[in-house]
A = this chain, B = another copy of it.
Amino acid sequence: MSQSLSPIPQLPTEPARRILRGMQRYFLECYGVGGVPEVTLATGRRVDFMAVDRKGLIWVIEIKSCLADYRADAKWQTYLEYCDRFAFAVDEAFPQEVLPPEVGLFIADPHGADCLRDPVHSELAGARRKAVMLRYALTAAARLTGVDAPPP
């Protein structure tokens, strides 16, 4: 099947991957859970990092490795409909003042992350949360088996 043969996607740049590693460690240390990079939503769009906590709340973290990366992204607002918690993650060099002050913010390096501003809280409806959770589970299990997730 074609989806079995898709390569597993990864974040495009090393600075983004460094931030990702820090966020993975943050979730492991603070919440005791892993997470999944590059999860494709039902819209076909891919979020940088999704994590489900032990309460079943769905987090989406958008990683911005530099200002150009942030400015090229006009789609982050659409992710709010697919998660309970939303935040950006950037590195120390990122000009934080350009980010919307109402959105959560993590500063990360490969060793961990600090939460500078609490994530945006939404409250997904049950059916939507169930659908996103299924996609998350399918993606994680597919990647464990060495293939990419099924298409939306």
Please report A residues at the B interface, Cβ cutoff 8 Å: 1, 3-4, 24, 28-29, 32-36, 51-52, 54, 56, 130, 133-134, 136-138, 140-145, 147, 150
Interchain nearest-CB distance for A82 vs B (Å): 15
Contact present for B32 and A4 (CB under 8 Å):
yes
Contact present for A144 and B134 (CB under 8 Å):
no
Majority secondary structure of chain A interface residues (helix, strand, loop or mixed)? helix
List residues of chain B with CB within 8 A of the CB of A133: 133-134, 137
- For this chain, the copies found in one complex come to 2
Contact present for A4 and B33 (CB under 8 Å):
no
In the complex, what distance in Å separates the CA atom of A76 from the CA atom of B137? 24
List residues of chain B with CB within 8 A of the CB of A52: 134, 137-138, 141
